[in-house]
Structures are given as structure tokens and as C-alpha cells.
A and B are shown apart, each in its own frame.
Chain A
């Protein structure tokens, strides 16, 4: 029975960092404990989307519990949202996630909440 799992964070420049995460810890907490630059404006209270991470392999994404309405409401507002996006504060380490790879989203120039892309001025 694993009590720590291996998780690899890939930042927007493609640099990778593999860390050990105790089972039961959120990815946000784990990132902060390992100096990985994952924003967490609301400190895990489901009131923002800044800890948005992309699960790089769909098999791992499918092993996660479905997001609640509350998490989906916040994901609506996340920048660079993908089909396998989750909030880092809601992804909790469990043995089946050993080896998971999480990408930090690339900042986009699309600042509009509703997906509208403004014409450059």
C-alpha cells in the first residue's frame, strides 16, 4: 500500500519537476511545499480558478472523482481550459494516481471570461 505517490509537474516552459506526495494531500498543497509555482488565490476554498492544472494523460484523468458543480463553476473561468483540466486543490493524492503528470496552463492572451477574443488594437 503506497503512502506516497510520484507526481510530475510540467511548467509552461516545459521544465519538469517530480515530487513525492503523501496520500491525502491536494496537488495545490504539494506544489507549494515543493516550491512549484502554482497560484492559489483562495487557498483551496473553491472560490477561484488559479490552481488550474491539466492532467496530461487521460487514463489518470479518468481515475479522478468527477468534479462537483462547485468545481465546474470555477473551471468555467479557468484560463486555457482543456478536456482534462481540474483544480489542483481538488485533486487529492491516492495510490492509483502514482506517476501522474500535471501541466501548468500556458497563459493565454485571451482575457475575457466568456471566451471572447478581443481584436488587437
Chain B
């Protein structure tokens, strides 16, 4: 009798295994475009996959919410698609859940078959010049977070009243964004989803002149035509570009011939330099393009509490020993974002990315010997470095998901032995044990509804909630 029962038990457990054996549990860390495109493609490619998307913030969507400028609302429309993914049957969002403090990478890998890290780049490249840590110097990333109401930048309070000049180092689209927000008439910002504390600050701003300081020339400008066209076309803005800077070397001409993007940007800059618009308004603000200049040092003002002068050296390739000083009270570094490493994760400090091959994380990269960390992948900026547009993540996610699918097919993810990982159930249990109140997608929807309602009162698409405490409260109401 006893032996019969024993055999029956074994038969039951084998049956249980084969039922569950093709279910794949996936955890995506980061809910920006990289995370959401990865989740969407995983769900589509694997009809039994369950995907959980984690974010340390209570709000999803990454830089679509906290990076895209307030006057670029159409660029944010993609959140509709991401919301459909989050609300789909096999997907769950876990906000207020931080890799490292809420749960470790090791724990995630024990709970899920597949872990994809898509947490982007929340730090900055540094200039490495004297004076970099004076007051009044911020990274563009922090400044953008500030006007977009990111809870981590709530207390930044940049002083826009101590000076009439801002120097922005860099000439990518982020540099143009911050310049544009500083120069836009208030009436144009009032009806956007710009954070209220930023609107108040900008209303009192005395900044009238903005310098865009670029190491290289117009043929190498990293910004794109849409953003450039927009800022060059702003009303009551005097654009100062020196025609001499627009002279293209033979090497420049070669580069321009090969790239449609560069060519169109160069043409816009040439046109602006050759035919400055007629301005007679006294209220005019100024935008200066300073090419071939590299910041040499940042100098403090007399009371050593803010930046006063910014010295630049001409011609980046070979410093020609000429210097000029620009007096300013605010410096924004827009020279690139940088990813942060996490405990237990291989990291390439030089490139600022996780070493990987087509999205598969590499444990080490010796000369001819790459060891893959099975089941661990990367997507987005953490994988490629902090470049590209939202759509770049579409193709990036496709590549990572293709790698995952290949690995599943080869049996590298689900070993033959039958001990299925707990997946979502395991995460829920762990978070409960640690008393971590994660924010589900429905919690974000409550925040969303409240922000939209508050915004309607001021004819804004939304009024952002900008502190951690208020965000959590709104999510739980």
C-alpha cells in the first residue's frame, strides 16, 4: 500500500513539471523605452512568458516622463503603447522597487528564468577640469530632471536670478532642450507639463544670454535638425553664429557627404550664420554658438559661492593656447550621461556599460575568451551607451530578445532538471517579507489621474507630483 502511494506521488510531480516546463518567467529592470520594448517583444515571441517590469520610481516610462522636454508633448505619445503592454495579461509593473536595496541581482536571478537589465544611465560624464564642483554648476541631466519634476531633483533649486548668462557645455539635443527651456517665453511654457517649481523659477529668471559651447565644429554637431530648426526659429531670440566657424575643411566635407543628418544640421547652421534675422525688440534674448571651444577651468566669483567665469580654449584637436573667459552664473554640463554599476554585475568602467554580446551579459572579457552569464541580459543605454533616440531601443530590444530566444531554444535558460523558478510569486513573497510596498500599474494610474486633474485646473496636460512622499500617497489613495 505504501509503495503504491509513493509511486502515485512521483507520477503527479512529473506531470506538474511538464505542465510548467515551457513557462518562462522574465524580469525587466527599468521601465523606460528599453524596458518596455523588451517586455513587448518578449511577450510577443513567447506566448507562455510572464514579464515583470521593475522601476525604482513610483512612476513608469523612464526618460519619456523625466527627460523629454515639456514642450515636446507629441514625443511622449509612445506611453500609450507602453501602457497597453503594462496592462496586458502576462505583464506586471512593480514601481518603488529598487535593484540593490529592495532586491539584489543574485536574488532576481534565483527567482526568474530571464533577467534583463534596462535601467539606463543615471549619472554623468565629468569634465575633469578645475572648478567642476563649484556652486551653480549642474549636469544637464539634473537640470532636465528638475524642470520635469523628477522627485530626486526636487531640492535642486538652481539660482536663475544671480546672473544674465548661462553657459551650456555640449551641443547635443539635451543641450538644445535646456537652452530652449531657459529662453522660451513664459507664456509658451505655462500650458505644458513643466513642473510648477520650475515655472515659478523661470518666471523670476534674469537669464538673457545662453552660450552653447562645443568642442568641435558645426560639421560634427551632435544635435539633430528638428531641434535645431526649432531653436533657430524662436521669436525674439537673437542667434549669434560666427561665419568663420562655418568654414568646412576637406575632412569635414567628406563627413558631410556621408551623413544626411550631419549635412542637414550643417546647412541649418550655415543659413543661420549667413543671414541673421532682423531684430529690433529690446526684450531680446541671445543664443550664442561657440564652436571649437573646450572648457579649460571654471572660476569662482569673489564670495566663492558661485561660478563667475568660464574659460575656454580654442580648437579641440590641438589646443592652440588661446583662451577666453565667459562671465556666467550658471553652467550646465551636457556632455553625456553615464550608467551606474550594481553589485554583482560585470561593468566596463571605461565605456560606462555592461560588457555584452548582442545583449548577453559577459562575465569577463579576456583576449579571446568571452564567458556569458546565462540568463542575464541588457537592453538600452546600459547595453549600448547613452546615445540614440527612443526608437533606437526598438531595434536594440529586438536584438536582445532574439538572443534570449536563441538561448531558450538551445536549452541554456531552462535546464532539463525540474525545479522551476518561482517568478512573480517569488518576487511578491520577497517584497512582502521585506515590507516593501511596491506600486502596481494601477497605482501609477491613480497618480496619472490626479496629475491630469490638477493640470486641467491650469490648462496643462498634467501637473506633476514631484516629491516621493506625495507620489506614494497618490499611488495608494
Contacts and interface: CB of A to CB of B under 8 A. Distances in A.
Given A69-B229, A111-B384, A113-B387, A77 B75 contact: no
B78 A115 contact: no
Contact of A81 (B260, B357, B384, B389): B260
A109 B229 CA distance: 29
A111 B390 contact: no
Nearest to B80: A43
Question: What's the dominant secondary structure at chain B's contact region?
Answer: helix
Contacts of B74: 42, 45-47
Interface in A1-44: 39, 41-43
Contacts of A115: 258-261
Nearest to A77: B389
Interface in B186-209: none
A73 B264 CA distance: 8
Q: Which of B72, B78, B391 has the most CB of A within 10 A?
A: B391
B388 interface: yes
B388 A111 contact: yes
Contact of B396 (A43, A48, A81, A111): A111
B224 A77 contact: yes
B391 A50 contact: yes
A39 B394 CA distance: 9
A74 interface: yes
A81 B259 CA distance: 11
Interface string B379-404: 00000100111111011101100000
Closest 5 pairs between A and B when the two form their complex, measured CB to CB? A47-B74, A45-B74, A73-B226, A41-B78, A73-B225
Interface of A: 39, 41-43, 45-50, 69-70, 72-74, 76-77, 79, 81, 107-109, 111-115, 121
Interface of B: 72, 74-75, 77-78, 80-81, 222, 224-226, 229, 258-262, 264, 355, 357, 365, 384, 387-392, 394-396, 398-399
